[in-house]
Structure 1
Amino acid sequence: MGIYSEEISNISQKSNDNLFDFAIVDEKKAEQTGYSNYSYWRSTWQSFLKNRIAVFLLVVVGLIIAFVIIQPYLPYQKSPTEIYIDETTGSQARNIAPGSEFWFGTNSIGQDLWSRIWTGTRTSLFIGFVVAFAEVIVGISVGALWGFSRKLETPITQLYNIVENIPTTIVLILMSFILRPSISTIIIAMCITGWVEMARFIRNQIVILRDREYNLASKCLGTPSYRIILKNLLPYLISVIMLRMSLAIPFAIGAEVFLTYIGLGLPISEPSLGNLINEGRVLMMSPDLRYQLIFPSVVLSIITIAFYIIGNAFADAADPKNHV
């Protein structure tokens, strides 16, 4: 019996020697197995490219922005403020229909509409981008502090209640009366109340996220508050921030058009889409002069619709749930 047991143990020992080897630690292989080439922004961009309509509109907007920048330096361009004289009559070239000389025609005092439309588009886009950037910076900063810091919650809430209960239209009108009508006046007036909606939304989202386990663990480890906000909270809100920013641009342009409509916008000497649409609105009942309303309205419509669709598409693409 003892001999039989000894033979079995010898067979088992030989089998174990053949089946198992000592593991050797290889740091390079360990790094390879733990490496992932996933990139959030690359995945976001790939997801965005799947929306062909949004990509097409992004190209259109990019071409418009590039064109309005280089347009004054192109050959055969006319001045947007100069009043042109009809050589045959010796008087102002008023209300000339679109043609080879004036591509978009002229307005009621003989100014070239082609140059005025692109100059006005450049002005309106500048206002829209500056206002949107200011709203995002102020809105995110105030909203993050409002939602994360319990000490600042009460004073910021009171400030929010004051600003929110003042209609934006009243603020725009008062600022236009107090300050001289100009681009800076419109930007300041829009920025006074424009950050409120962004701040409120950011605050509500941060209140939901701030007491989750990983944030509590970061606090216990002594992580600074600003780092928790930047690393743990705001990345979850990128899609919403992009959407709000893209919508702020057409909103700012629309507000400029509204101020011009009620007579408190930019001066007539400063071409803008608001001025051009307001001038064309007066002539819309005349079939021969409707081109003065149609051309700037088409440009404004393309810009606002494009930013809206691009913003929604990018917000969906930035949502981590849609990444693969």
Structure 2
Amino acid sequence: MGIFTKEIQNISEKSTEQLHDQMFDFAAVDDAKAEETAYSNYSYWRSTFRSFSKNKIAVFLLVFVIVLIAFTFVQPYLPDQKSPTQIYLNPDTGMQDRNVAPNDEYIFGTNSIGQDLWSRIWEGTRTSLFIGFAVAIIEVLIGFTVGALWGYSRKLEAPITQLYNIVDNIPTTIVLILMAYILRPGVSTIIIAMCITGWVEMARFLRNQIVILRDREYNLASKTLGTPGYKIILKNLLPYLISVIMLRMSLAVPAAIGAEVFLTYIGLGLPVSEPSLGNLINEGRVLMMSPDLRYQLIFPSIVLSVITIAFYIIGNAFADAADPKNHV
């Protein structure tokens, strides 16, 4: 009986060994594949542009704005283009071609002293866009720097708050008027005047966002591991603020152009000799009650309206696309 039991155990062990050999293999260790399992092909900017490209209207307007900006630079070099500052005379009468309605020679007509409105509008658009982009970039740089320090550093919170209260309580119109009186009228004067108080709203908004994000677990973990503050701001906080920054920047461009129009309206803008959308709209405003001369207001107003609407839609679309919450 014991011999029989022992034979059964031997048979069972042999069959078990055969079963294991047939069903199982040792897995080989591959360090390269182990690295691949931890790899993610996610890219923040690629995901942002993929999301933005789904908004067909915003993409169309972005292409339109790029073409418009490119055309303002190319237009002076196209054939048969007139000077935006030259006063043209009628060859038959020798008099100024004043208030000529749009025709084959003057596409947008002429103004009250015989200057070509077509070339003046594109020259003015180029000037106004330069002012708008310069103001927007400076406001973003100052606003983000001040807002990040204001929201992240508890030591700087009190002094920056006092600075904010002082600057925010100064009316922007007063600053624009004083700078226009103190400095010589020009593009740089308008840019400086707008940037003195323009960064305040962006800094305050970014500060509020950073206060919400700064004490989250991943930021506390980074701080505990000894990560410098500027890296936490740039790596952990900035991606969540890109949407806000792009929205504010896109709105700052038409706002700066509108402020330039306002300054020109009250007589403190650019010199009349330097074309801008503000100058052109202000000149057309005087003639708006005359039906035959309203084209001098309509054309620059259309250009300004299209730029404003385009930047607003593009900014909102890009802000939504840049929000990491909308990324898959």
TM value normalised by structure 1: 0.97
Distance 1:222 1:32 in 2: 28
The answer to whether the aligner puts 1:289 opposite 2:318 as a matched pair is no
- Report the structure number with the largest CA radius of gyration: 2
Does 1:79 find its partner at 2:80? no
2:178 counterpart of 1:186: no
The corresponding residue for 1:65 is 69
Q: 1:29 Cα shift?
A: 2.2
For structure 1, list consecutive stretches of 5 or more residues without a partner in the other structure.
none
- The CA deviation at 1:282 is 0.7
* Mapped pair 1:199 → 2:230: no
Partner of 2:165: 161
What residue in structure 2 maps to residue 220 of structure 1?
Answer: 224
The one-letter code matched in structure 2 to 1:229 is I
Q: Tell me what 1:92 maps to.
A: 96
Cα pair distance change 1:220/1:33, threshold 3 Å: closer
Residue 38 of structure 2 corresponds to residue 34 of structure 1: yes
**Corresponding position of 1:10:** 14
Q: Report whether the alignment pairs 1:123 with 2:148.
A: no
Structure 1 position 43 matched with structure 2 position 47: yes
CA distance in 1, matches of 2:150, 2:48: 29
> Which residue does the alignment assign to 1:134?
138
**Amino acid across the alignment from 1:250:** P
- For structure 2, the 5+ residue unaligned runs are none
Partner of 1:313: 317
Aligned to 1:34, the other structure's residue is in SS state coil
Is contact 2:140-2:202 (8 Å) kept? yes
Tell me which residue corresponds to 2:106.
102
Q: CA deviation at 1:315?
A: 0.8
Q: Distance in 2 between matches of 1:226 and 1:319?
A: 21
User: Alignment partner of 2:89: what SS?
Assistant: coil
Paired AA for residue 246 in structure 1: S
Task: Give, in angstroms, the shift of residue 52 of structure 1.
Answer: 0.9
Code of the residue aligned with 1:284 in structure 2: it is M
> Which digits, 9 at most, give the CA deviation of each residue in 1:251-309, with x for residues without a partner?
00010011111111111111000000010011111110010000000100110000000
SS at match of 2:27: coil
Look up the SS of the partner of 1:92 in the other structure.
coil
- Contact kept in structure 1, 2:186 and 2:271, CA below 8 Å: yes
User: Does the 8 Å contact 2:239/2:324 carry over to 1?
Assistant: no
Paired-residue identity, %: 78
Kindly provide the amino acid, as one letter, of the partner of residue 122 in structure 1: R
Structure 2 equivalent of residue 55 of structure 1:
59
1:244 to 248, 260, 263: 248
| Alpha-carbon distance in 1 for matches of 2:15, 2:262 | 93
Q: CA RMSD, aligned part only?
A: 1.2
Aligned to 2:283: 279
Count of aligned positions? 324
In the alignment, does 2:303 pair up with 1:299? yes
Partner residue of 2:28? 24
Deviates more, 1:66-75 or 1:121-130: 66-75
1:4: Cα distance to partner?
A: 3.2
CA deviation vs aligned residue, 1:16-67 (integer Å, no higher than 9, x gap): 2322222211123223333332222112111111111111111110111001
Q: How big is the shift at 1:2? A: 4.1
Answer with 5-14 or 241-250: which moved more.
5-14
Q: Mean alpha-carbon deviation: is it higher for 289-298 or for 68-77?
A: 68-77
